[in-house]
Amino acid sequence: MRIKDTAAVRLTELGVEVRRGVSLADETSLGIGGTTDELLLRQYETIPDVMRLLADEHIPHRFLGGGTNVLIADGELPWVILHLPVAHPGMRVEGNAAYVDGSADLGGMVTFCAKYDLGGMEGLIGVPGSVGGALRMNAGAYGTQIGPHVREVELYRAATGKIETLCGTDIRFDYRHTSFAPEDVMLRVKLELPSKPYKEILAGIKVCNEKRRSSQPLNQKSAGCIFKNPQGGSAGKMIDELGLKGHRVGDAMVSNRHANFFVNTGHATYSDMLKLIGEVRDRVRDAYGMELENEVIVWRN
Ligand code: EPU
């Protein structure tokens, strides 16, 4: 979708950088996605005004975080993308509290806090994406989830149209799911982290990195796990048991390394990936009587 020049001028006055005709295939870890205009929200304070302007001008929009857990339709997209710039995200530590911008890289935050002897997040080290994205979906790995560490979140709340601060206790963090609304924009978070010697944290990080390297296709284009694990089970294990590793639709393929990772081996399209997801879901339902739920977020056009 292309924004009219008149609206673009008003957005620029609000401190927004308007990027024309951006390919979202370049902004997602799957390397799939069509083209649209992108708005970089450089001044958090003006976000409510920006949102009002988009509503007044009837400009549909979606917020893209790190782009690591999303499958986006191909072609010209019917909505613009909102994105927080990542150049110099704020991160600071005071005692056991860490204050981090939503646009910061999740792994970068873990190592930053480690330097101040703050640990507890070692498991999150290799999870790709932004801190904002991790908050939204309560990212987790190797027994760690971000949710329990959250004390405050500053966010643009779609329900009120304002920037607000929520207490950690007012937010529900479940397995890969939270009580945030899809339109909320995570701006900053305050985490409380346990003190731990730097060396110990590094050792923990090393173990997690090794586990991840040996079990996940880190050098291929993917969106991490495609399906959530069903209660008490493992989607990857079931898909593997069905012999579906290497199964493909076009250039979309079930990873040979981890069966819950679907990789783009070249020029996979949105429909290839969607078809593969559907086929695997059908096979698991037929064999195990279980309905797998997407972990990857699908943006249809
Ligand atoms: N397994 C197989 N074959 C496979 C994949 C896994 O047999 O192809 C088996 C493993 O051998 C193991 C079990 O399934 O016995 C569980 O596998 P793994 O330890 O890899 O964990 P997972 O449940 O598949 C979850 C998260 C990952 C996270 C890892 C490590 C979900 C959907 N996935 O995977 O998160 O990195 O644990 O904690 O919860 C993600 O969310 O995108 C993600 C990658």
d(CA 258, ligand 1 centre) in Å: 7
Q: Is the CB of 295 under 6 A from ligand 1?
A: yes
Is residue 176 scored above 80 in pLDDT?
Answer: yes
Per-residue pLDDT, 86: 77
* CA–CA separation, 229 and 295 (whole Å): 9
Assess whether pLDDT exceeds 90 at residue 256.
yes
Among 107, 135, 136, smallest CA distance to 121 is for 107
Whether the predicted pLDDT of 87 surpasses 80: no
CA nearest ligand 1 atom 15, residue:
237
Q: What is the DSSP string of 141-173?
A: ETTEESGGGEEEEEEEETTTTEEEEEEGGGS-E
Q: What is the pLDDT of residue 263?
A: 98
Q: Is 288 exposed, middle or buried (0-12, 13-18, 19+ CB in 10 A)?
A: middle
Residue minimizing CA distance to atom 29 of ligand 1:
141
What is the chain's mean pLDDT, rounded?
A: 96
Helix (H, G, I), strand (E, B) or coil at 126: coil
**Residue 72: burial class (beta carbons within 10 Å; 0-12, 13-18, 19+):** buried
CA distances from 17 to 14, 61, 68, 160, 221 (A): 9, 15, 22, 24, 28
224 lines ligand 1 (CB under 6 A): yes
Q: Quickly state the pLDDT bin for 17 (edges 50, 70, 90).
A: very high
Give yes or no for residue 229 CB within 6 A of ligand 1: yes
The closest of 147, 157, 153, 126 to 63, measured between CA atoms, is 157
pLDDT, tens only, 118-161: 999 999 999 999 999 999 999 999 999 999 999 999 999 999 99
Q: How many helices (H) does the chain have, and how many strands (E)?
A: 7, 18
Question: Is residue 179 pLDDT above 90, yes or no?
Answer: yes
Residue-wise over 162-193: b if at least 16 C-beta within 10 A, else e?
Answer: ebeebebeebebeebebebeeebbbbbbbbbb
- What is the dihedral angle through the alpha carbons of 38, 42, 46, 48, rounded to the nearest 10 degrees? 50
Tell me: pLDDT of 287 over 80.
yes
- 3 state SS of 75: coil
pTM of the predicted protein model: 0.96
Q: What is the pLDDT of residue 278?
A: 98
> Token digits for 206?
């090393």
User: What's the CA gap between 29 and 25, in Å, rounded?
Assistant: 8
Residue 237 Cβ < 6 Å to ligand 1: yes
Three-point CA angle 158, 110, 224, nearest 5°? 70
Predicted confidence at residue 85, as pLDDT, reads 86
* Residue 70, token pair as written in the block: 């999303």
Q: Are 114 and 202 in contact (CB under 8 A)?
A: yes
Q: Do the strands 185-192 and 177-178 form a parallel or antiparallel pair, or are they unpaired?
A: unpaired
Amino acid 267: pLDDT: 97
State the Cα–Cα distance between residues 265 and 255, nearest whole angstrom.
Answer: 9
β-pair partners for 82: 39, 63
291 CA to middle of ligand 1, Å? 17
One-letter amino acid identity for 13?
A: E
pLDDT in tens, 219-236: 999 999 999 999 989 999
Write the single-letter amino acid at 37. Answer: D
Mean pLDDT on 182-205: 97
Q: Per-residue pLDDT for 88 more than 90?
A: no
